[in-house]
Amino acid sequence: MSEPVSVFIADSQDLTRFGLRHLIEGEKNMNLSGEAVNSDDLFKSIGSKSPDVLILDYKKTGDFKIGDINRVREVSPKTNILVISADEEKAIIHDVLGKGVNSFLTKECDQTEIKNAIYATAKGEKFFCGKILEIIFEKHYNKFEVEDCLPTELTTRELEIVEMITQGYSTKKMAETLCLSHHTIYTHKKNVMKKLAIKSTSELILYAVNIGLAASNATKN
């Protein structure tokens, strides 16, 4: 990206905000656009600042909540969301992933992984740390194991679309690269998901990882 990535931190823990602030201010290609300690603070300014990336910890009772994710989409649609949370409740993590956050790390991740996640998220890519991928795989592993025994045939074009999705291509970029219409790209993706009985992009990414089309340590969309 030609311009520095603008990052907004939404976390009620002083120590976490301090650490993230230090990391961001130490990167010449990142700018800190603001901080919030609760939902009220967040929505007072995120709409006007419209940062590239919002780092959010939703798991703070009385401070932030999962519903903030949808609201951010409404008031700052150009902002991509990176969750960094200590949450270990798998059902809730799946719920958060289902709301379309771009990336998800745990608070055990190191600085390098956080930096990589911020840059990937700014570009609209998906980035999950190993622990989050394990949680996703745990839910869907048996399903993919069965599919391996009864493989579903995808066309060469469909496999190409899947691979491009995992590499972070938008529908517009795929259409331009393949010289196809947006509608055709959408139709290919819809057909792939129907063939694989997949209902979400996260599951499609897992399929790509499973067949070797994507790296499992930094999953993109």
Q: Give the predicted TM-score (pTM) of the model.
A: 0.67
From residue 72, alpha-carbon distances to 57, 118, 168, 174, 220 in Å are 13, 17, 22, 27, 21
Q: In 3-state terms, what secondary structure has residue 53?
A: strand
What are the residue boundaries of the structural domains of the chain, listed by start? Answer: 5-128, 134-210
pLDDT in tens, 196-207: 778 777 777 777
The total of other beta-carbon atoms located within 10 Å of residue 70's CB is 10
Mean pLDDT of 87-111: 89
Q: What share of the chain is helix, strand, coil (3-state, %, to 5)?
A: 50, 15, 35
* Same fold flag, 5-128 and 134-210: yes
Top-level class of domain 5-128: alpha beta
Nearest to 35 by CA among 27, 25, 26: 25
The domain 134-210 belongs to what CATH superfamily? Response regulator (3.40.50.2300)
Dist. CA 206–CA 219, nearest whole Å: 9
The amino acid at 67: G
pLDDT in tens, 34-87: 999 999 999 999 999 999 999 999 976 678 989 999 999 999 999 999 999 988
Percent of the chain exceeding pLDDT 90 equals 40
